[in-house]
């Protein structure tokens, strides 16, 4: 079956003033839709892959024909990353993680503020387009990793499970923040859906599978 565009779990304007309505409409309706359309078009030409989950496609890149690898990496990665991203944002501003996730973060970064500082610094340092992620590994350790373009952490290490990610492509912020990526990153913390991130943590802690 073809993949489908998930609806936003909130109104396009719900994240204002941190992300504007026009950006959200373009980001979801145009950019995410384009990744989806190109992914589905590639799968139409490769019907043996149509029953695989998006996670299976991304973790199985090395087994695919080389021309198809690039399409799945870019278009499948873009589809997957954005599908996660919308859920990681919330109009319920200034949330905090669950107590056990907060304690885990504090045990590895000394404080929640130090974690945010480290994450923000790594996100600001990404060259060009990409993502910065908070992931949990097979040993239940939290890590901050960055990926280029539409790559996902699971492409290179399927034991890494994304808990939180920030889209650093210019289309995610340029209409409002222009070239001020640090301002966008600072605004991002107001709209993180820590309830969802905490659910991700609870889902994956103590487990090794991706889905």
Return the exposure string of 23-39: e unless at least 16 CB atoms fall within 10 Å of the residue's CB, then b: bbebbbeebbeebbebb
- Residue carrying the six token digits 């198809």: 68
Domains with residue ranges and CATH for the chain: 21-87 (1.10.287.990), 99-204 (3.55.40.20)
* 179 vs 21: CA distance, rounded Å: 19
| pTM (global) more than 0.85 | yes
pLDDT by residue, tens only, the chain of 211 residues: 689 999 999 999 999 999 999 999 999 999 999 999 999 999 999 988 888 999 999 999 999 988 899 999 999 999 999 999 999 999 999 999 999 999 999 999 999 999 999 999 999 999 999 999 999 999 999 999 999 999 999 999 989 999 999 999 999 999 999 999 999 999 999 999 999 999 999 999 876 444 4
């Amino acid at each position: 079956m073809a993949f489908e565009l998930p609806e936003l779990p909130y109104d396009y304007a719900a994240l204002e003033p941190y992300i504007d309505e026009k950006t959200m409409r373009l980001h979801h309706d145009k950019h995410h839709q384009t990744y989806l359309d190109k992914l589905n078009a590639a799968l139409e030409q490769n019907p043996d892959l149509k029953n695989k989950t998006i996670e299976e496609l991304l973790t199985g890149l090395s087994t695919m024909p080389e021309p198809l690898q690039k399409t799945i990496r870019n278009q499948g990665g873009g589809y997957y990353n954005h599908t996660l991203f919308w859920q990681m944002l919330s109009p319920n501003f200034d949330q905090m993680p669950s107590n056990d996730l907060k304690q885990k973060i504090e045990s590895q970064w000394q404080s929640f503020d130090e974690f945010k500082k480290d994450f923000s610094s790594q996100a600001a340092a990404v060259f060009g387009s990409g993502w910065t992620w908070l992931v949990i590994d097979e040993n239940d350790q939290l890590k901050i990793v960055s990926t280029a373009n539409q790559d996902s952490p699971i492409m290179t290490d399927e034991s890494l499970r994304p808990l939180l990610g920030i889209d650093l492509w210019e289309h995610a912020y340029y209409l409002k923040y222009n070239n001020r990526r640090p301002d966008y990153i600072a605004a991002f913390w107001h709209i993180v859906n820590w309830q969802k991130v905490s659910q991700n943590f609870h889902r994956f802690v103590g487990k090794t599978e991706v889905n």
